[in-house]
């Protein structure tokens, strides 16, 4: 284990990248979101998906929600991650519409309110989705991902290591969140690609 994997080094890297994200103006955020969504609309994994998840941005995360109206036009079913109650800090995915009742979870992130039966009926495990749009704090040229550090996505996607359904995993980020190298841990689930406001990096591709 080299020094990159040291918990203190990971913490420092997360802090540095999150600060940078936080400093963006509203206008910079809007422009980055627009550029991101242009790239996403051309991605095969996005174009072919009938069931897709995205997230509502917090703390300067790049905003994928301009895609919502495009998905509606195409009759794509859109889901949001929700913390599974009474479980192991993993996520399930609940259908999201303009009128879905929302509630803040323990991290202050709005999510569909699963106290309502309608929301509970419309929830899926990650393996039932075609494509997940996944937030991240850092990524590298091989589409490795560093998240917020809770392990929520890694736990929810652990099934990807076994044979069976394998949704496409598309990380999204501001281009400046790309770093030279990341501490990849055994439990980190590889992404298919990372899309930023400036381009796409694919897993398994060497840096050009
Ligand atoms: N499949 C798993 N089963 C149990 N614990 C896990 C699993 N995956 C990750 N974890 C735990 O989660 C913790 C955080 O993982 P990691 O540092 O990779 O977070 P992250 O990928 O940044 O977070 P997130 O997935 O929420 O964005 C680790 O200490 C690890 O022990
Ligand atoms: Mg991880």
Strands (E), the chain: 51-53, 77-83, 91-95, 102-104, 110-112, 123-124, 131-135, 138-139, 145-146, 168-173, 193-196, 200-202
Written as six digits, the tokens of 107 are 């991290």
Q: Which of 187, 188, 189 to mutate to test the pocket of ligand 1 (most atoms within 8 A of CB)?
A: 187
User: Per the structure, how many domains does the chain have?
Assistant: 1
Percentage of the chain with pLDDT > 90? Answer: 89
Q: What is the DSSP string of 57-110?
A: --TT----GGGHHHHHHTT-EEEEEEEPTTSSS-EEEEE--TT--EEE-TTS-E
Q: Where in the sequence is the domain holding 193, given as residue range(s)?
A: 3-136+148-202
127 inside domain? yes
Give the CATH number of the domain where residue 20 resides. Answer: 3.40.50.10420
What's the gap in Å between 89 CA and the centre of ligand 1?
9
Banded pLDDT at 174 (limits 50, 70, 90): very high
Q: For 20-36, what is the mean pLDDT?
A: 97
- Range 50-67 average pLDDT: 97
151 lines ligand 1 (CB under 6 A): yes
For the CA of 148, the nearest ligand: 1
In a domain, 141, yes or no: no
Band of pLDDT at residue 205, cut at 50, 70 and 90: low
Percent of the chain scoring above 70 in pLDDT: 97
Is residue 126 one of the residues assigned to a domain?
A: yes
Q: Assess whether the C-beta atom of 147 lies below 6 angstroms from ligand 1.
A: yes
Take residue 137 and report the two structure tokens written for it.
């704090």
Task: For residue 153, give the ligand nearest its CA.
Answer: 1
């Amino acid at each position: 284990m080299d020094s990159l994997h040291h918990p203190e080094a990971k913490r420092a890297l997360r802090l540095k990248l999150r600060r940078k994200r936080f400093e963006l103006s509203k206008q910079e955020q809007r422009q980055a979101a627009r550029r991101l969504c242009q790239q996403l609309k051309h991605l095969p994994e996005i174009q072919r998906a009938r069931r897709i998840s995205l997230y509502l941005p917090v703390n300067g995360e790049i905003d994928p929600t301009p895609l919502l109206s495009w998905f509606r036009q195409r009759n794509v079913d859109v889901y949001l991650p929700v913390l599974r109650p009474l479980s192991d800090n993993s996520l399930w995915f609940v259908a999201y519409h303009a009128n879905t009742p929302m509630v803040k979870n323990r991290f202050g992130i709005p999510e569909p309110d699963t106290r309502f039966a309608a929301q509970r009926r419309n929830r899926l495990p990650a393996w039932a989705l075609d494509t997940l749009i996944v937030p991240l704090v850092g990524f590298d040229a091989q589409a490795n991902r560093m998240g917020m550090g809770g392990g929520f996505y890694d736990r929810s996607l652990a099934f990807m290591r076994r044979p069976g359904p394998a949704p496409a995993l598309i990380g999204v980020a501001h281009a400046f969140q790309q770093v030279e190298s990341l501490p990849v841990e055994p439990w980190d689930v590889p992404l298919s690609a990372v899309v930023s406001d400036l381009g796409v990096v694919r897993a398994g591709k060497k840096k050009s």
